[in-house]
């Protein structure tokens, strides 16, 4: 019990909460740059990977942000599922800013913690906290989808009406706790990744499954490399897995959700170009109808928007 309390105390002293209360200065016992004349000397420039991470981040965010705009300004927000997805998207964009844009920039110049201590500390706290928050949100999203499939589940009431807002307080509070009261991850340009120890030498249902599985894969790889010796390629794979876990959501939206895809195209592509490529929002669908009484098949044609 004493060891557990000591670990909790160490995490609190290493947290963003302590950092803010201490005048934006990290705990000298855990983060000390004294004697480091040239912080770049202990780093390593990873310019090729830096360009990749930054380019990837810009491309994914340019897709993701319009998706979030469409979700937040449409009737999709009437669904509890999309309320959760919107919050998940906010967490993902924060993480992508850290694991793609910040990672690429810091790796490109070969930075270490002592190069930009405040920036790296804040980015690490936000990145780690939002990652933990997104994992909790993915669990809630999976529960939401299960309750939508089986109406007899008792926790379905959690997502009915205004109850969903109270339920969403769980990942929100967890995110705040993770950002401010846990140890942040610190960037290491040698391995092009983030570590708790900066000197370490080592359709909607289908959408939900894809989103949650990407997060689970990234979580396994990233947690494994924190506690077990891993070669540099595995560490880099863990960083890319974390990146893809948050980037995959908007790709799933664009490829699997016709409503979001159509509205994003309407938002970004001028009408005259949409007409040329035939991106009409209304088309005809022929649906076979089975008559259960005489087992004869008829065809009904409906004209309307397909979701």
pLDDT at 217: 66
pLDDT averaged per 10 residues, the chain (length 307)? 56 86 84 74 87 94 92 88 92 94 94 89 94 92 86 84 92 95 88 70 51 66 71 78 74 73 79 60 38 39 35
Residue with tokens 């934006």: 24
Q: What is the pLDDT of residue 66?
A: 92
pLDDT 10s digits, 138-162: 899 989 888 888 878 888 888 888 8
pLDDT of residue 306: 34
Q: What is the pLDDT of residue 270?
A: 77
Provide the pLDDT for residue 281: 42
pLDDT score recorded for residue 213: 62
Question: Residue 5's pLDDT is what?
Answer: 54
Chain segment 222-239, per-residue pLDDT in tens: 677 767 777 778 778 777
| pTM attached to this predicted model | 0.67
pLDDT of residue 88: 93
What domains sit in the chain, N to C, each tagged with a CATH number? 2-31+38-264 (1.20.1070.10)
């Amino acid at each position: 019990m004493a060891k557990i309390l000591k670990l909790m105390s160490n995490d609190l002293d290493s947290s963003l909460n302590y950092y803010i209360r201490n005048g934006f200065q990290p705990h000298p016992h855990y983060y000390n740059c004294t004697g480091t004349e040239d912080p770049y000397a202990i780093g390593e420039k990873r310019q090729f990977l830096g360009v990749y991470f930054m380019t990837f981040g810009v491309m994914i965010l340019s897709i993701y942000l319009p998706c979030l705009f469409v979700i937040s300004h449409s009737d999709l927000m009437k669904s509890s599922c999309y309320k959760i997805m919107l919050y998940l998207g906010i967490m993902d964009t924060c993480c992508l800013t850290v694991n793609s844009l910040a990672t690429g920039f810091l790796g490109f110049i070969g930075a270490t913690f002592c190069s930009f201590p405040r920036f790296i500390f804040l980015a690490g706290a936000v990145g780690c906290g939002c990652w933990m928050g997104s994992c909790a949100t993915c669990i809630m999203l999976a529960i939401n989808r299960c309750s939508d499939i089986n109406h007899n589940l008792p926790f379905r009431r959690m997502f009915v009406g205004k109850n969903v807002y109270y339920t969403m307080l769980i990942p929100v509070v967890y995110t705040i706790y993770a950002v401010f009261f846990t140890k942040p991850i610190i960037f290491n340009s040698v391995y092009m990744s983030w570590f708790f120890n900066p000197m370490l030498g080592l359709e909607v249902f289908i959408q939900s499954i894809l989103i949650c599985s990407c997060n689970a894969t990234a979580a396994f790889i990233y947690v494994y490399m924190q506690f077990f010796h891993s070669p540099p390629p595995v560490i880099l794979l863990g960083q890319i897995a974390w990146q893809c876990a948050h980037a995959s959501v908007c790709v799933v939206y664009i490829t699997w959700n016709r409503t979001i895809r159509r509205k994003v195209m309407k938002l970004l592509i001028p009408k005259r170009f949409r007409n040329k490529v035939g991106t009409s929002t209304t088309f005809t669908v022929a649906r076979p109808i089975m008559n259960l009484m005489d087992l004869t098949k008829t065809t009904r044609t409906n004209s309307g928007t397909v979701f």
